[in-house]
Amino acid sequence: LPVLDPESADFASIDVTIDGADEVDSELNAIKGGGGAHLREKLVANASRKLVLIADSRKNSETLGTKWDKGIPVEVSPLAWRTIKRQLERMAPLSRAQGSVKADLAAAFSFSHPKAELRQAVRKAGPVVTDNGNFILDVSVGSIHDPLAVEQLIKMVPGVIEVGIFSGMAKEAWFGNEDGSIVCREPQSAQN
């Protein structure tokens, strides 16, 4: 398959994207970016008519943040990563993005105090640098009860480039089981 140039006309008309995920919930919201490429992956997924996620059964969960314990990958500007880290650690579970109207004010995530860590490189000194020249903060918030709210809250922080939560983007997910069988799922709400 050819690599798509974001400047080409082909990039705007992708039929299907098949991509891995670090964790997928019952609505097919996903955490991606364990490999540090979630900005580019989200650009491709957004340009696609259909996103299909693939993963092994260990990444299949009811609620995000229950199986993937390394935090939400957040690509940030290297210029202000310390300030961004402090702001992310001040997020409150009942916070909502401006303009977001929710009838219930249930907590968007379970931790009362999120923890953000600068991702360090392996086999080289210093932080991981993305293909785009940015740093990654891994933000632990516990169980994620409202993925879209958490994604929006994080994106509101100046200097955040992209968030590794893919809310409402996937149309189906395929999970490989230890016995070799495969399970295909659609969002739980689509089955009702």
The pLDDT tens digits for 130-181 are: 999 999 999 999 999 999 999 999 999 999 999 999 999 999 999 999 999 9
Q: Which residues pair with 30 in a beta bridge?
A: 24, 166
Instruction: Choose among 76, 112, 190, 96: nearest CA to 148.
Output: 96
Write out pLDDT tens, residues 56-104.
Answer: 999 999 999 999 999 999 999 999 999 999 999 998 877 655 545 454 5
Is 27 tagged catalytic?
no
pLDDT, tens digit, 9 for 90 and up, residues 17-41: 999 999 999 999 999 998 889 999 9
pLDDT at 101: 45
Q: Which residues contact 180 (CB under 8 A, 6 or more apart)?
A: none
Whether 82 contacts 118, CB under 8 Å:
no
pLDDT value for 181: 96
Catalytic residue among 23, 41, 75, 162: 41
Is residue 50's pLDDT more than 80?
yes
Ramachandran angles phi, psi of 91, nearest 5°: -60, 145
**Which among 20, 29, 116, 100 has a CA at the least distance from the CA of 66?**
29
Beta carbons within 8 Å of 117's beta carbon, 6+ residues apart: 71, 137, 138, 140
Q: pLDDT at position 97, please? A: 55
pLDDT for 106 equals: 64
Mean pLDDT, to the nearest integer, of 176-188? 95
Tokens 């402090």 belong to 86
Q: What pairing do the DSSP bridges indicate for beta strands 14-20 and 48-56?
A: parallel
